[in-house]
Amino acid sequence: MTHNIFKKLAIQTCRQTFKHEKRHLSKINTHDERIQQEFTTSAKLFSDAMSKRATRLLSPLLKACDVSQLKNPKPTIVDVACGPGLTTIGVSKLNKYGKTIGLDITNEMLRVARNNAEKEQQALGNGEKLHIEFRTGNVEHLPFEPDSVDMVVSRLAFHHFVSPKKVMSEIFRVLKRTGTAVIMDIVTANDDKAKYSHYKTSSKECTRLYELCNAIEKLRDPSHHGFLWESDMLHLFESTGFERVETTDKFEDARTVRQWIEQTGSYDQRRGVEVLLRELLEHKVDTGMQLHLNDQHELMFVHRYVVWRAHKP
């Protein structure tokens, strides 16, 4: 009983703290503006952090991008919500004869992406040319004609979208027939609870974990909208009209809570998140984040990643 009361109190605390954070963002009228503010502040830090973890967090998506199977020998591939362009650059190396386009709503992210692409091109020298460009655009209104794109990729972005259904519909719209979508994102507790024993078995408990996890994420990053259940993502693909939906990879990755918060560029303002998580760990509250201390007594947590691949009929 005490465990449940404390967890309920923690959720309420997260919500109240998020309301306090929202007052500081009172001049921001839309979620898009919140995304732009957050990633304008953290663009370089985010890029540096993701670069250090690229092998772990980029390779699974690139493995799912089988460009050789596309019908067009010079395909157009779009990276939706490309951020600092690391995915765009990685895909461009696979797409040697076509064009790869990175799309993002935040101009500072695009500036960092172009710099990253330029550095990568210099490192490659004259032996290989990246056929790559970056554009400003909104994921809910992709600036492409229907049936004009051979592949769409998106990495670690769907949890920022207010309407994942709208974004998925846009991806479906711009893809050519037989085109491919490759999506990678973080998910909440898996519906296969027996396989992941650290999650409780009741649907009520899973809902509580979902609310708590997303509340914590929003405290750390107000541009976060919500992780989806793995089963919800599968349903999203299928209900949009995609076929041959498959999970190509799923894995877990641990990091320190401090690094995670520092990546936002606002550690001093948001260090309360780490204080809260330490309290939750101390009181043995299951957050769905697998909180634990490493050998250096640093607070660690775990994110679950899934990669999906689907085809437009």
Q: Which residues pair with 103 in a beta bridge?
A: 80, 135
At residue 92, the pLDDT reads 97
- If residue 85 lies in a helix (H) or strand (E), which one and from where to where? none
| Residue (of 47, 125, 27, 44) closest to 88 by Cα position | 47
Q: What does the H/E/C string look like for 131-174?
A: CEEEEECECCECCCCCCCEEEEEEECCHHHCCCHHHHHHHHHHH
Q: Which fold has domain 2-311?
A: Rossmann fold (3.40.50)
Positions of the chain with pLDDT under 50: 1-2, 18, 20-28, 192-201
How far is C-alpha 83 from the chain's CA centre? 10
Specify the pLDDT at position 310.
Answer: 99
Q: Identify the CA nearest to 155 among candidates 29, 62, 283.
A: 62
CB burial of 214-252 (b: ≥16 within 10 Å; e: otherwise) equals bbbbbbbbbbbbbbbebeebbebbeebebeebeebeeee
In the chain, the largest separation of any two C-alpha atoms, in whole Å, equals 66
Q: What is the pLDDT of residue 208?
A: 81
Question: Strands 99-104, 299-311: parallel, antiparallel or unpaired by DSSP?
Answer: unpaired
pLDDT of residue 194: 38
pLDDT computed for residue 9 by the predictor: 53
For the record, the structure tokens of 263 come out as 């990546």
**What pLDDT score was predicted for residue 224?**
92
Q: Are 79 and 153 in contact (CB under 8 A)?
A: yes
pLDDT at 49: 65
Amino acid 105: pLDDT:
92
Query: CA nearest 85: which of 121, 65, 115, 124?
Result: 115
What is the structure's pLDDT at 185?
98
pLDDT tens readout for residues 281-290: 999 998 989 9
Boundaries of every domain in the chain? 2-311
Asked whether the beta carbons of 292 and 252 are under 8 A apart, the reply is no
Mean pLDDT of the chain: 86
∠ CA 141-142-144, nearest 5°, is 130
